[in-house]
Amino acid sequence: MKRILITGGAGFIGSHVVRLFVNKYPDYKIVNLDKLTYAGNLENLRDIENAPNYAFIKADICDGGLMDRIIADENIEGVIHLAAESHVDRSIKSPMDFIHTNIIGTVNLLNAAKKQWQGKNHGRFYHISTDEVYGSLESGFFTEETAYDPRSPYSSSKASSDHLVRAYGHTYKLPVVLTNCSNNYGSYQFPEKLIPLMIHNIQSEKQLPVYGKGENIRDWLWVEDHARAIDMVFHKGKEGETYNIGGNNEWKNLDLVHFLCDLMDKKLGRGKGESRKLISFVTDRAGHDMRYAIDASKIKKEIGWEPSVRFEEGLENTVDWYLKNDAWLEHVTSGAYKEYYDQQYKNR
């Protein structure tokens, strides 16, 4: 399988996956398909955009006919599907965008792959999903056997797409594999999610909105460790299987925000405790899941993957990256860069 379509490759996790594949596999052709929504930015891929084994196509996965044509014209042998609407708060405001992209878009890709690979003995459809499909934990950990119990429009749309991917595997024998991962952090994350938003607001001395009492718990994973897991599962994962991916690294939101404030006080030469004064406890997110935590023993045992970066080290690296990349932040939040690229890459 050398002709790979990566969807959502201009987003946060997708850009790390595209970079890894383009650099590691010079004999593969990597096609990045992305609609370039507010969350997708080609600036995330500046360093590899001229690589001979890389191509970009601006397209919407909700256009089924277009997906059929792209997968056939590019003679795609493997799909790594990351394109999605990904922010829980936005899903609460506008669920329909999540239904279209995450469910209908995924089915369009499944249909296109099914047509392309019928009667051929190759193909792999790798669906990237989230631990949020399992719901909220009081104790213990999510395993691959945990029953689905999604509670936000985002997690429900991802759960629907997971079921459809498995149904295509079961009914049509489409060669599928899935992973469900915990919260990622690192460079190139759009500053609406907790960590980059807090870094950005601490730097610009804006309010730090902590939902509720800040007691919710997330299991954080370095995005490059996730990208490495995706590479390993794509090449070694068993057809029809699901693997959970997590950092074994649970933090309460408020502890995490305190850690970032104290770290950035030092980096920015502020007095001890200065940034913590920016914290503001705001109305809780509707239906806020209390705790996510992953048992990743299956991927460790069967595929040999392990997280490699300690959280404190990864966070410091992430803070340094955001402080050095003001221009990136400015561009992705202003929309000017997107307009420029929209003119460069017209829809096919």
Q: Choose the contact partner of 40 out of ligand TYD, ligand NAD, none; CB within 5 to 8 A by kind.
A: ligand NAD
Q: Which residue in 29, 35, 218, 228 binds ligand TYD (CB under 6 A)?
A: 218
Minimum distance from residue 210 beta carbon to ligand TYD (Å): 5
CA 60 to chain centre: 17
Q: Is 34 a catalytic residue?
A: no
Q: What totals of helices (H) and strands (E) does the chain contain, helices first?
A: 13, 12
251 phi and psi, to 5 degrees? Answer: -135, 140
Q: What's the chain's length in residues?
A: 348
Q: Which two tokens stand for residue 317?
A: 């690296």
Indicate the DSSP class of residue 168: H
Minimum distance from residue 289 beta carbon to ligand NAD (Å): 13
Which one from 85, 131, 144, 224 is the annotated catalytic residue? 131
Q: Which residue in 58, 81, 193, 228 binds ligand TYD (CB under 6 A)?
A: 193
Q: Is 132 a catalytic residue?
A: yes
Which of 146, 216, 152, 153 is closest to 180 using CA atoms?
146
Select 3 or 151, whichever has its Cβ closest to ligand TYD.
Answer: 151
User: Interface residues with ligand NAD (CB under 6 A)?
Assistant: 8, 10-14, 34-37, 39-40, 60-62, 82-86, 101, 105, 128-130, 158, 181, 183-184, 190
Minimum distance from residue 146 beta carbon to ligand TYD (Å): 17
Select 33 or 260, whichever has its Cβ closest to ligand TYD.
Answer: 260
Indicate the DSSP class of residue 121: S
Distance CA 180, CA 219 (A): 12
Please return the burial class of 185, using the count of CB atoms within 10 Å of its CB with bins 0-12, 13-18 and 19+.
Answer: buried
Minimum distance from residue 216 beta carbon to ligand TYD (Å): 4
Q: Is 149 a catalytic residue?
A: no
Residue of minimal CB distance from ligand NAD?
11
Sheet holding 183-185, edge to edge: 183-185, 217-222, 250-252
Q: Choose the contact partner of 146 out of ligand TYD, ligand NAD, none; CB within 5 to 8 A by kind.
A: none
Q: Which residue in 59, 109, 165, 194 binds ligand TYD (CB under 6 A)?
A: 194
Distance CA 132, CA 87 (A): 12
Indicate the DSSP class of residue 90: H
Minimum distance from residue 347 beta carbon to ligand NAD (Å): 11
Select 118 or 207, whichever has its Cβ closest to ligand TYD.
Answer: 207
Q: Choose the contact partner of 210 out of ligand NAD, ligand TYD, none; CB within 5 to 8 A by kind.
A: ligand TYD
Which one from 34, 60, 68, 132 is the annotated catalytic residue? 132
Q: Choose the contact partner of 95 out of ligand TYD, ligand NAD, none; CB within 5 to 8 A by kind.
A: none
211 binds ligand TYD (CB under 6 A): yes
Window 131-160: residues binding ligand TYD (CB under 6 A): none
Residue appearing with tokens 């070694």: 236
Q: Which residues contact 241 (CB under 8 A, 6 or more apart)?
A: 177, 178
Q: Which residues contact 3 (CB under 8 A, 6 or more apart)?
A: 28, 29, 31, 74, 75, 76, 77, 78
Catalytic positions: 131-132, 154
